[in-house]
Chain A
Amino acid sequence: MKNYQLAWRNLWRNKRRTLITAASVFFAVFFALVMRSFQLGTYEKMYRDVIESYSGYLQLQHSDYLDESNLDNGFVLEQPLTDIIESDPNVTGVIPKLESFALAASGSRTQGVMVIGMDPDNEQKTLNIKNRLIKYRLTPDATEALKEEKLPARTAKLVDVFSGEAWTDEKSLISDLGISDDDSAAVMPLFRKHASLDSRYLTSADSGSAVIGYGLSRYLSADVGDTLVVMGQGYHGVSAAGLFVIKGIVSMPNPEIDNAFVYITLADAQYLYAASGMVTSAIISISDTDDKELLQTQQRLAASCNSGLVIRNWKEMNALLLNQMEADNKSGAIMIGILYLVIAFGVFGTVLMMMAERRREFGMLVSIGMQKRKLAGIVGMEMLFIGLLGVVAGVAASLPVVYYGYARPLRFTGEMAKMYEEYGFEPVMPMLLPDTYYLWQAVIVLLILLIAITFSVRRIFKLNIINALRA
């Protein structure tokens, strides 16, 4: 009889206890993984959104700009420097940007905004503003009008749920509103009639036009074709004022940006702020965005910067967001810690019970000549089996959930969504595909097992045969 065979049979001798213990490990692993996947996926999405729609991975800035983000810390971007940066193997483009605060008004409402001036053609090399143009939106009027029409029951209900939302493409609209392929031919014309928006992107030749965020458009009740009045302070304190016709509305993923986003051409921005030839930063787009490669590229580029200019990476530029996520991450880790603590106690309880129940048997086995280390090996193997069963089942069960949550991110609506947006988060929780965090869960469970095994092995080595036999 081999040790593992004996261990295997012992497992099924108290089937219920084995299964309950394995199940508790299973649930811990499953919940920890799903929770972790949600958390990490949400962080990642938030980082990606900010990077892709706003900051980029790397920026060329004046060294003081990070602390005091105003025009006075702007600079003139010389072509030779641009050329040097663009010659780096990892760099795909340099996009000069002039950015400053202003007040924007349309009709009777005014709102503090962020005016961003970039060359539209150049911009498309890195940010995805053009892809964020809104094609459909459910304004209150559009919602009412659609409810008058004959819609499939499911879609009619979802129109209410999604009232106020906007879509950048037809596919996501169809999927969100549950429009089936059969209905599509009849329903889509209705949406085109009531809910479509003729949103256009800027061209380099455009002058006096702007593209604004969807959140801002709602706050100002401003629509495509309306005029936006922008007032602010220009370079060296001169006053800046301009009129811009809204040409397009974009949906920026980060609500804070979406509520304050005013995009005009670089030339318009330089004129508005009386900062001819100046920029506040240049986004450097790169092809390999991996952490390590990113830092190496940053170092390479830093070497070629003239005095006063520095290269900042996205982490340095988004310290606030990172801190926020870090704090959230800690509270998540504590939750998982508590979960595992409960499980550890459960496993420990099982071990204690098992050891007490089998004391006599252990005494008998050592009496008739089984070495304690062999016995300890068998008992350790039993616990390892239970633990692995739980871990493997937990991982297996989490995979479909995680892959589904990755492919179809959870989207909040209604009150939940409002709460999220108030905190400056998009109400979407995508999941992160299996990564090192999976490994960590396994390591934690194995550690708990190791402690339980160590405990029982010690008990076995300290077993007093005479007392065990008398038990």
Chain B
Amino acid sequence: MKVVEINDVFKTYHDTEVEVKAVNGVTLSFERGDFAVIVGPSGSGKTTLLNLIGGLDQPTAGEIIVAGHRLSELKPSELIDFRMEHVGFVFQSYNLIPVLTASENVGFIMSLQKWPKEKRIARTDEMLQSVGLADRHKSRPAQLSGGQQQRVAVARALAPRPEFILADEPTANLDTKSAETLLDIMEKLNREEEMTFIFSTHDARVVKRARRVITLEDGKVVSDERTNHNS
């Protein structure tokens, strides 16, 4: 089943005097349960593409369809609700709300979605357990290590069961051990919850684990390979 469809999408920036074609005619689709990475040199358009898929930005041309929604048809405030309901985000850093505890952060999107309290608490506990931080549920982000913060961010993104998770270089700021732990957790959740993950990365450790590697160059897809990792 297709979760994301990208049809001949362009994104051009006019900010500077020169015109930058950050995404230059991309056609792609993602299936339920994908564990895909987007790789490519710096400036090749990875972040831009993820932002378009997640509805953070609108393409200059082309169509993106997520869970039956044509993103170009949504008004800005509808786009925010769309993200809240369908997309899980994990950023490179500064993911968490500093004044909330780990469990409040995990429960945050569910409370935006107005989950009943008991269900929300149960799901929060389950997710913290999954990412191995059940004992840190009361800690504030500042009291957690970078790797632990990323795990909380993954738990938060996953908790409300979105269509897919977008993660822009989630391991960029992590040491090898933390990065491996995070990847283990994401793989496990991909398997257990059948959650679709789409990453961008420069990190060989991530690429090695991926089951699908999409390579971008100058805003174009130059290769799209399915591998058969089963770690």
Q: Is the C-beta of B67 less than 8 angstroms from some C-beta in chain A?
A: no
- Do B91 and A6 touch across chains, with their CB atoms under 8 A apart? no
- Do B80 and A361 touch across chains, with their CB atoms under 8 A apart? no
Q: Is the C-beta of A1 less than 8 angstroms from some C-beta in chain B?
A: yes
Q: Is the C-beta of B109 less than 8 angstroms from some C-beta in chain A?
A: yes
Q: How far is the CB of A157 from chain B (nearest CB, A)?
A: 59
Q: How far, in whole Å, are A13 and B85 apart by their CA atoms in the complex? A: 29
If A10-B99, A361-B94, A364-B91 touch, whether A370 touches B77 (CB-CB below 8 Å) is no
- Do A1 and B100 touch across chains, with their CB atoms under 8 A apart? yes
- Do A1 and B111 touch across chains, with their CB atoms under 8 A apart? yes
Q: How far is the CB of A421 from chain B (nearest CB, A)?
A: 60
- Do B109 and A368 touch across chains, with their CB atoms under 8 A apart? yes
- Do B94 and A367 touch across chains, with their CB atoms under 8 A apart? no
- 24 interchain pairs (CB within 8 A)? A1-B100, A6-B97, A6-B100, A10-B99, A360-B94, A361-B97, A366-B80, A367-B54, A367-B83, A367-B89, A368-B83, A368-B156, A369-B80, A369-B84, A369-B85, A369-B87, A370-B80, A370-B84, A370-B112, A371-B81, A372-B77, A465-B56, A465-B57, A469-B91
Q: CB within 8 Å of B: which of A280-299?
A: none
Q: How far, in whole Å, are A50 and B165 apart by their CA atoms in the complex? A: 81
Q: Is the C-beta of A342 less than 8 angstroms from some C-beta in chain B?
A: no
- Do A369 and B57 touch across chains, with their CB atoms under 8 A apart? no
Chain B contacts of A1 at CB under 8 A?
A: 100, 104, 107-108, 111
Chain A contacts of B98 at CB under 8 A?
A: 13, 361
Q: Is the C-beta of A365 less than 8 angstroms from some C-beta in chain B?
A: yes
Q: How far is the CB of B98 from chain A (nearest CB, A)?
A: 6
Q: How far is the CB of A413 from chain B (nearest CB, A)?
A: 56
- Do B56 and A9 touch across chains, with their CB atoms under 8 A apart? no
The 10 closest A-B pairs by CB, nearest first: A369-B84, A9-B99, A369-B83, A465-B56, A368-B89, A466-B57, A371-B80, A13-B99, A360-B94, A367-B89
Q: How far, in whole Å, are A469 and B94 apart by their CA atoms in the complex? A: 9
If A1-B104, A370-B112 touch, whether A364 touches B95 (CB-CB below 8 Å) is yes
Chain A contacts of B107 at CB under 8 A?
A: 1
- Do A466 and B111 touch across chains, with their CB atoms under 8 A apart? no
Chain A contacts of B89 at CB under 8 A?
A: 364, 367-368
Chain A contacts of B83 at CB under 8 A?
A: 367-369
Chain B contacts of A465 at CB under 8 A?
A: 56-57
Q: Is the C-beta of B12 less than 8 angstroms from some C-beta in chain A?
A: no
Q: How far, in whole Å, are A162 and B56 apart by their CA atoms in the complex? A: 78
Number of residue pairs spanning A and B whose beta carbons lie under 8 angstroms apart: 58
Residues of chain B at interface, number, CB under 8 A: 27
Taking CB as reference atom, which chain A residue is nearest B83? A369
Q: A interface vs B, CB < 8 Å?
A: 1, 6, 9-10, 13, 360-361, 364-372, 465-466, 469
- Do B84 and A368 touch across chains, with their CB atoms under 8 A apart? yes
Question: Is the contact region of chain A dominated by helix, strand, or loop, or is it mixed?
Answer: helix
Q: How far is the CB of B158 from chain A (nearest CB, A)?
A: 12
If A370-B80, A371-B77, A466-B51 touch, whether A365 touches B56 (CB-CB below 8 Å) is no
Chain A contacts of B157 at CB under 8 A?
A: 368
If A365-B97, A367-B89 touch, whether A372 touches B80 (CB-CB below 8 Å) is yes
Q: How far is the CB of A15 from chain B (nearest CB, A)?
A: 12
Q: How far is the CB of A287 from chain B (nearest CB, A)?
A: 61
Q: How far, in whole Å, are A13 and B81 apart by their CA atoms in the complex? A: 28
If A361-B97, A372-B77, A372-B80 touch, whether A367 touches B56 (CB-CB below 8 Å) is yes
Q: How far, in whole Å, are A449 and B77 apart by their CA atoms in the complex? A: 27
Q: How far is the CB of B21 from chain A (nearest CB, A)?
A: 16
Chain B contacts of A372 at CB under 8 A?
A: 77, 80
Taking CB as reference atom, which chain A residue is nearest B85? A369
Q: How far is the CB of A6 from chain B (nearest CB, A)?
A: 7
Chain B contacts of A6 at CB under 8 A?
A: 97, 99-100
Q: How far, in whole Å, are A367 and B100 apart by their CA atoms in the complex? A: 17
Q: CB within 8 Å of A: which of B69-113?
A: 77, 80-81, 83-85, 87, 89, 91, 94-95, 97-100, 104, 107-109, 111-112
Q: How far, in whole Å, are A232 and B57 apart by their CA atoms in the complex? A: 94
Q: How far, in whole Å, are A372 and B156 apart by their CA atoms in the complex? A: 20
Taking CB as reference atom, which chain A residue is nearest B54? A367
Taking CB as reference atom, which chain A residue is nearest B98? A13
Q: How far is the CB of A373 from chain B (nearest CB, A)?
A: 8
- Do B56 and A466 touch across chains, with their CB atoms under 8 A apart? yes
Q: How far is the CB of B191 from chain A (nearest CB, A)?
A: 24
Q: How far, in whole Å, are A409 and B111 apart by their CA atoms in the complex? A: 58
Taking CB as reference atom, which chain A residue is nearest B81? A369
Taking CB as reference atom, which chain B residue is nearest A374? B112
